[in-house]
């Protein structure tokens, strides 16, 4: 599943290639994605120039002229890539955006949890974005205001990190890794995390994401290869997916528990 660093890497790769291009046409082959692609979307965006490619959490926002924008989420298995002209369609290719300068963007998504929507005005007011918490890579993330917000929540901290309101776009892998680095048990209530540990958690979230981004930067050229899988950078996870393996800090076996239907990996001796 593309996580925030993967989405940001895709954004950084695509933006210079498509910024300033005009949308010649948008062809939707499969409108039944996570939400139905609106019938008139293709007609409405044709002819618009792409001003900017932004990101909010794991959403890509194509800012167009006249305050129009397109919202794209890659879901569980979506891949958005520049293709060579005339590349044959494969069964899971669902839409294609043809741009000026002979550029073509195509979405491939076997599981069809991705989305393509259109809006106008401020995208932050869209229902999918309006309740999102702060961006973990934005300056000031993890400061006093964030710590106060964390401490008002009684739920397990692992669930809080995943629900998007406390911090935007942090997925299961990064939540597990950040909690390990901060030494916090995934089941601990947000309200029962001390200020120093809350601060450590804020910086751990930022550092795991930044390291993954760096790893993504070094594999950026892989995105040029049409059939390469962009999901999941080869970063060395310390606890995620390592049930039964020794903790890199103390040697105790890493454990896996279920919290809110999701697997959490942690070290029973380093995290409390
Ligand atoms: Zn340990």
pLDDT tens, residue by residue, 191-246:
999 999 999 999 999 999 999 888 875 544 444 433 344 444 556 789 999 999 99
Last residue of a domain, one of 92, 125, 158: 125
State the catalytic residues.
Answer: 2-3, 58, 262
CA 253 to ligand 1 center in whole angstroms: 8
What is residue 235's predicted lDDT score, i.e. its pLDDT?
61
pLDDT, tens only, 7-57: 999 999 999 999 999 999 999 999 999 999 999 999 999 999 999 999 999
CA–chain centroid gap for 114, Å, is: 12
Last residue of a domain, one of 65, 91, 125: 125
Instruction: Please tell me whether residues 160 and 114 are part of one structural domain.
Output: no
Q: What is the mean pLDDT of the chain?
A: 92
The boundaries of the domain holding residue 184 are 144-266
DSSP assignments along 38-59, one per residue: PTTHHHHHTT-BEEEEEEETTE
Residue 131 falls inside a structural domain? no
Instruction: Please tell me whether residues 198 and 255 are part of one structural domain.
Output: yes
Instruction: Please tell me whether residues 12 and 121 are part of one structural domain.
Output: yes
Under a CB-based contact definition with an 8 Å cutoff, are residues 106 and 96 in contact? yes
Q: What global pTM score does this model have?
A: 0.90
Residue 130 falls inside a structural domain? no
CA 164 to ligand 1 center in whole angstroms: 27
Instruction: Please tell me whether residues 237 and 163 are part of one structural domain.
Output: yes
User: Minimum mean pLDDT among 96-110, 130-144, 205-219, 256-270: which range?
Assistant: 205-219
CA 77 to ligand 1 center in whole angstroms: 32
CA–chain centroid gap for 149, Å, is: 22
Q: What is the CATH number of the domain that holds 211?
A: 1.10.8.50
What is residue 154's predicted lDDT score, i.e. its pLDDT?
97
| CA separation for the pair 118, 45 (Å, rounded) | 8
Under a CB-based contact definition with an 8 Å cutoff, are residues 58 and 7 in contact? yes
Q: What is the CATH number of the domain that holds 94?
A: 3.20.190.10
Residue 189 falls inside a structural domain? yes
Instruction: Please tell me whether residues 167 and 210 are part of one structural domain.
Output: yes
Residue 204 falls inside a structural domain? yes
Residues with CB under 5 A from ligand 1 (ion): 247, 249-250, 252, 267, 269-270
Instruction: Please tell me whether residues 156 and 72 are part of one structural domain.
Output: no
Domain count of the chain?
2
């Amino acid at each position: 599943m593309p996580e925030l660093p993967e989405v940001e890497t895709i954004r950084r790769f695509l933006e210079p290639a498509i910024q300033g291009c005009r949308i010649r046409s948008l062809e939707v082959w499969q409108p039944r994605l996570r939400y139905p692609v609106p019938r008139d979307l293709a007609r409405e965006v044709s002819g618009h120039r792409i001003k900017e490619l932004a990101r909010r959490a794991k959403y890509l926002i194509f800012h167009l002229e006249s305050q129009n924008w397109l919202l794209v989420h890659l879901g569980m298995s979506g891949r958005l890539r520049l293709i060579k002209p005339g590349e044959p369609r494969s069964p899971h290719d669902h839409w294609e955006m043809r741009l000026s300068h002979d550029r073509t963007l195509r979405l491939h998504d076997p599981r069809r949890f991705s989305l393509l929507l259109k809006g106008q005005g401020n995208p932050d007011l869209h229902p999918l974005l309006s309740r999102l918490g702060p961006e973990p890579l934005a300056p000031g993330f993890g400061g006093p205001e964030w710590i106060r917000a964390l401490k008002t929540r009684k739920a397990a901290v692992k669930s809080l990190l995943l629900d998007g309101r406390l911090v935007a776009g942090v997925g299961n892998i990064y939540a597990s890794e950040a909690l390990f680095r901060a030494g916090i048990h995934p089941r601990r209530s947000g309200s029962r995390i001390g200020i120093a540990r809350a601060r450590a958690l804020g910086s751990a979230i930022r550092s795991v994401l930044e390291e993954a981004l760096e790893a993504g930067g070094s594999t950026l050229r892989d995105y040029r290869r049409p059939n390469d899988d962009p999901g999941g950078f080869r970063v060395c996870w310390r606890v995620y997916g390592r049930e039964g393996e020794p903790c890199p800090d103390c040697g105790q076996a890493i454990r896996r528990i279920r919290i809110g239907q999701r697997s959490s990996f942690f070290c029973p001796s380093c995290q409390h």
